[in-house]
Structure 1
Amino acid sequence: MTKTKRKPSDDEVYNRIWSAIMERKLQPGTRLKEEDLCEVFETSRGGIRKVLQRLAHHNLINLVPNSGAYVAKATVKEAREVFQARRLIETELVRELVRTFTPAKRQALEEHVALEEQAHRDGDLNRRIRLSGEFHLKIGELADKQVLTHFLREIVSRTSLIIAQYQLASARHAEETAAHPCCEHRGLIEAFEKRDADGAISLMMEHLCHLEEQLDLASGINGAIDLKSIFS
């Protein structure tokens, strides 16, 4: 008997698209055609529209009347505000995690960094980029700050779009060829272990400044992406 293929849930479709944004596979300005998404995910147009509305609510896509859905672009002002917001939120998350740090929480962070390093060894830059962003969300989860982590999830996703839009070519090359791409994350873990709040906050601010310095906020790129090649 032939098994009927299960249709993905709305959450699964959302998470697939969210991951593609995090991995910078979807470039800012890419059109997300409903019919293509229906074919790729083998689901209904109604389900796709719900997912697109949810992505728009989280500022990851723009819904343009009589035109369609497009992966969001950020203005220079918005890009700077996103990094400003990250500094404010992540300072509080780091401070709280230092206060409540335990061996179990260290293990959770170590296991996550190990996944980042494995992605690097595998040559899977897209997966490593996504895992790098998720490391910051892991800090929020371990700090048990659900509201701040919810806000950070949206902002981290928008950071991926901003980097895809504005990253300098030299910074992109450095990211692709980095010998030790997770050293800043490991430094944070050591600061947590030492219960060094000031040191951990300083490292996080340096880390975020390093990301922002990779950007050329005087220009940007537009990408034309084949959705089937991303989600197949």
Structure 2
Amino acid sequence: MRLPSHAAKLLAVAALPLALAACSSSTSEDSAAGPATSTAPSKAADPNAGLLTGTQLKKALAPASYFPSGFAPDAGLARDTGDTYQAPATKSAAKPHCADLAATSWISLTGVEGVSFAQSSHVNKNTSAELDQEIDVYRGTTGADVLKDLAAVVAACPSYTDSDTHSKVKVTGAATAGLGDEAYTITLTSGAWETGTTLIASRTGTAVVSVLSTDGADNGAASAKKLAAHVLASLKA
């Protein structure tokens, strides 16, 4: 380390009394003017504080052992946001692509994206029955808005054409009691199908659980409700 020269040391020592005098003068002036106020900016609150991450949500999904015999996970449809959060987004849902009601992430038809999610899908290769589950977490009261938006989606999609059978699919929806803080059920039926499809979105706090079921002669209603209840219980636990 290079040491300062003797002359530099002297200058530094000579400057010290001046610096002290300046500080003393400044302090006296500050005292006369009143107490000093801090100008340091306050730290902004984390908007995602307390919200579950995708990794945590993944643990709340029903495990493979939950599903009936014959069902196996579809690895290609299992995903989550991990330990980080994504930026929330809202897009217009005035003209939703109604056929997406039959897709695994049908909850996205509301046009609202949360900050974290986890999802998985299980399929019975013998009967082609499908059981899908997803949990999305939103900031503030956005989750409640998502439930309201589902009714708007149903109103905009009274029916759509199934691309596989080229048949008309009827869409009905209704508020559902007994699941979480609130829930909404959508039923899809077609004369060309052996059984219909039941979709249930249920909210608990900032999380919305969405399930899809084609398992059962009742359009998958009982199995969808059972799966939704299981995931809601896991979240509370």
Q: Smaller-chain TM-score range?
A: under 0.3
More helix per residue: 1 or 2?
A: 1
Name the TM-score, length of structure 1 as normaliser. 0.23
Higher relative contact order structure (alpha carbons within 8 Å, sequence separation ≥ 6):
1
Name the TM-score, length of structure 2 as normaliser. 0.23
Which is greater in Rg?
2
More strand per residue: 1 or 2?
A: 2
